[in-house]
């Protein structure tokens, strides 16, 4: 019998061994593993950091102050140049914390606002770290993405307003506190309190986070056997005492500074209607923020009678709010208004959100609010003690603030979004023997994490998230373009020889270029708008408006065209001489 030989044909694609041919092992196609949580976090950072910064840079708004932050930026610039803090009478927040960490970089408005944009990314990552141990990595990354698409955050994240730094400090404190409680780690607990103290130095509302961490630590049992419960509690008390001493020292120092805001006048009438207004409308604003998650997971046909009853009551409440406020007043937000973000800070009328978009927002608030109420009843008991304490103090503080006569803006509520997302995406353990558990056998993770998700719910959640992300981009582009256009119109007048203090290009411009900050105008002064009362000087010689004006003796100097959404759309500003020019 002739020996086996290897033909040239068999040498290709086969392995030859001692004159015999054997098939080459089958090659498996390369499989790319997609890390879904990382992808979602990447999208979140793209939405909350990259896109807003790109719009701010292109429009030029990255280097100018926005809204109330004219004061914050001006104080920071002086600190960056001299190392000293001089308040300007428009800094209700503690504020100092977000300034001093910048050091000499605080002298640059661009550096200030890039810093805040980075803190927006820190807030998203801290949200993920806070929630992941309770609901899992994938749901926590979904929660971080939902937080990132909230339409107010893009514009807030590219200004030196205190909202985003306070949010980052709050979530950072809670995330570190959660880690400290899990491992009974005193160094992490000290870190959480340090971040919390820094946050209180930005905005007093952050105090809810470190106090919640301390109370949760005092009422918890240490996990390592090597640490006794008594020594753990004494150590927590010592850290709490150090935190309290630092807080008192900071408040004593800050109150000693000249130029602080005057005390807010106490309300002279019943406060309960105002408190209820903040509570109810604030709830429905939060319902919009968490709508993508709510629509994805809510299954009211599986709820208990108590949850259905509370949801029905919430629906009736939503109809009452609709009846009282209609479309224009339903949302407790100064960024999601039909006329655009914070329209009170400049002269003129604009229209940003059409009635159809506003109807979608209000409908989303009502539907999500009803479903959220049922989910809170069904899953609210799973909220960890740390976040229970935090929610109690935050909600109580906001309501007390309104009862004291101070304004509570919708953006103050952003810190509660992660808490609600934890409730919505909480693990749902089905009762033993239930049909849901039986049909999910072999897919235990889906039961533990609160899944499986219905296809219709997922599509509804994706649609809501896409809508909010698009609206966020829309609001950020609109606000960035308008703020920059107004500021640049004022700069053109300055280049033509007009003193900056004699120009009204908006509240930010008037405050930033006021000689001594806020100094209330005397009685009988000529006032062109509400913020004219804040600056005791002659009325402006020139005014920039976002719509045509018909004031007597005003003369149109020019119109200025600009891109309404930074890279698209057309809009116009009107520049007037007011007739109040001082003799030169």
pLDDT in tens, 229-265: 668 889 999 999 999 999 999 999 988 887 777 676 7
Q: Does the pLDDT of residue 554 top 50, yes or no?
A: yes
Q: Are 260 and 89 within 8 A, CB to CB?
A: yes
Averaged pLDDT for residues 415-433: 81
Beta strands in 324-389 (DSSP E): none
* pLDDT in the model for residue 440: 39
Note the maximum CA span of the chain: 123
Q: Read off the pLDDT of residues 147-157 as tens digits, 9 standing for 90 and up.
A: 999 999 999 99
* pLDDT in the model for residue 227: 55
Q: What percent of the chain has pLDDT over 90?
A: 66
Give dist(CA 465, CA 468) in Å, integer. Answer: 5
Q: Read off the pLDDT of residues 89-128 as tens digits, 9 standing for 90 and up.
A: 888 777 899 999 999 999 999 999 999 999 999 999 999 9
Give dist(CA 422, CA 405) in Å, integer. Answer: 32
How many residues appear in the chain?
A: 584
Q: Read off the pLDDT of residues 19-50 as tens digits, 9 standing for 90 and up.
A: 444 555 555 554 556 789 999 999 999 999 99
pLDDT band at residue 443 using 50, 70 and 90 as cut-offs: very low
Q: What spatial distance separates the first Cα and last Cα of the chain, rounded to whole Å?
A: 119
| DSSP symbols for 85-122 | ----S---S--THHHHTTGGGGG-HHHHHHHHHHHHHH
CA angle in degrees (0–180, nearest 5) for 411-417-422: 175
Long-range pairs of 313-320 with CB within 8 A, sequence gap ≥ 24: 313/373, 314/369, 314/370, 314/372, 314/373, 315/366, 315/370, 317/280, 318/284, 318/365, 318/366, 318/369, 318/370, 319/366
Angle between helices 109-135 and 137-148 (to 10 degrees): 150
Cβ neighbors of 43 (< 8 A, separation 6 or more) are: 145, 148
Mean of all residue pLDDT scores within the chain: 87
Q: Does the pLDDT of residue 399 top 70, yes or no?
A: yes
Q: How far is CA 304 from the centre of its chain?
A: 33
* pLDDT in the model for residue 442: 38
* pLDDT in the model for residue 203: 93
454: left (phi over 0), alpha (psi -120 to 50) or beta: beta
* pLDDT in the model for residue 529: 78
Q: Is the dihedral of CA 18, 19, 20, 22 positive or negative?
A: positive
CA distance readout (Å), 497 to 501, 556, 584:
12, 18, 11
CA angle in degrees (0–180, nearest 5) for 506-413-317: 110
* pLDDT in the model for residue 324: 84
* pLDDT in the model for residue 250: 93
């Amino acid at each position: 019998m002739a020996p086996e030989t290897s033909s040239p044909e068999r040498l290709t694609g086969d392995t030859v061994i001692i004159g015999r041919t054997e098939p080459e092992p089958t090659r498996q196609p390369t499989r790319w593993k997609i890390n879904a949580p990382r992808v979602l976090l990447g999208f979140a950072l793209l939405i909350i950091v990259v896109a807003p910064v790109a719009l701010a840079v292109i429009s030029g708004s990255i280097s100018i102050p926005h809204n109330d932050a004219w004061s914050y930026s001006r104080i920071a610039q002086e600190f960056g140049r001299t190392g000293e803090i001089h308040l300007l009478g428009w800094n209700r927040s503690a504020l100092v914390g977000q300034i001093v960490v910048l050091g000499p970089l605080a002298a640059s408005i661009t550096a200030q606002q890039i810093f805040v944009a980075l803190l927006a990314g820190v807030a998203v990552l801290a949200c993920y770290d806070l929630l992941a141990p309770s609901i899992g990595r994938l749901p926590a990354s979904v929660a971080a993405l939902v937080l990132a698409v909230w339409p107010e955050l893009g514009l807030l994240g590219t200004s030196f307003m205190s909202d985003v730094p306070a949010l980052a400090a709050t979530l950072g404190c809670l995330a570190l506190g959660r880690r400290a409680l899990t491992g009974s780690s005193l160094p992490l607990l000290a870190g959480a309190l340090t971040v919390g103290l820094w946050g209180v130095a930005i905005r007093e509302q952050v105090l809810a986070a470190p106090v919640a961490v301390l109370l949760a630590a005092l009422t918890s049992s240490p996990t390592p056997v090597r640490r006794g419960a008594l020594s753990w509690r004494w150590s927590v008390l010592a850290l709490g005492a150090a935190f309290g001493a630092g807080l008192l020292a900071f408040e004593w120092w800050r109150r000693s500074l000249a130029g602080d805001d005057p005390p807010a006048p106490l309300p002279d009438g019943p406060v309960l209607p105002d408190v209820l207004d903040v509570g109810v409308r604030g709830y429905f604003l939060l319902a919009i923020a968490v709508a993508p998650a709510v629509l994805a997971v809510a299954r009211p046909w599986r709820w208990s009678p108590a949850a259905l009853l509370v949801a029905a009551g919430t629906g009736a409440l939503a109809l009452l709010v609709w009846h009282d406020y209609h479309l224009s007043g339903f949302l407790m937000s100064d960024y999601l208004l039909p006329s655009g973000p914070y329209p009170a800070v400049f002269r003129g009328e604009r229209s940003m959100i059409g009635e159809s978009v506003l109807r979608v927002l209000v409908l989303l608030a009502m539907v999500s609010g009803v479903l959220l109420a049922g989910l809170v009843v069904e899953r609210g008991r799973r909220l960890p003690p740390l976040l229970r304490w935090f929610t109690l103090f935050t909600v109580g503080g906001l309501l007390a603030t309104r009862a004291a006569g101070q304004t509570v803006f919708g953006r103050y509520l952003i810190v509660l979004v992660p808490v609600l997302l934890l409730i919505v995406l909480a693990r749902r353990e089905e009762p033993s023997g239930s049909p849901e558990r039986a049909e999910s056998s072999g897919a235990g993770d889906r039961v533990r994490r609160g899944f499986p998700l219905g296809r219709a719910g997922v599509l509804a959640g994706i649609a809501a998230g896409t809508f909010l992300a698009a609206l966020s981009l829309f609001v950020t582009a609109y606000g960035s373009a308008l703020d920059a256009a107004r500021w640049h119109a004022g700069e053109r007048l300055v280049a033509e020889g007009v003193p900056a203090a004699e120009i009204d290009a908006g509240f930010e411009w008037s405050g930033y270029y006021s000689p001594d900050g806020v100094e209330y105008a005397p009685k009988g002064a000529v006032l062109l708008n509400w913020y004219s009362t804040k600056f005791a000087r002659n009325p402006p010689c020139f005014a920039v408006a976002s719509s045509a004006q018909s004031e007597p003796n005003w003369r149109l100097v020019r119109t200025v065209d600009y891109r309404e959404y930074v890279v698209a759309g057309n809009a116009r500003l009107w520049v007037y001489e007011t007739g109040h020019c001082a003799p030169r």
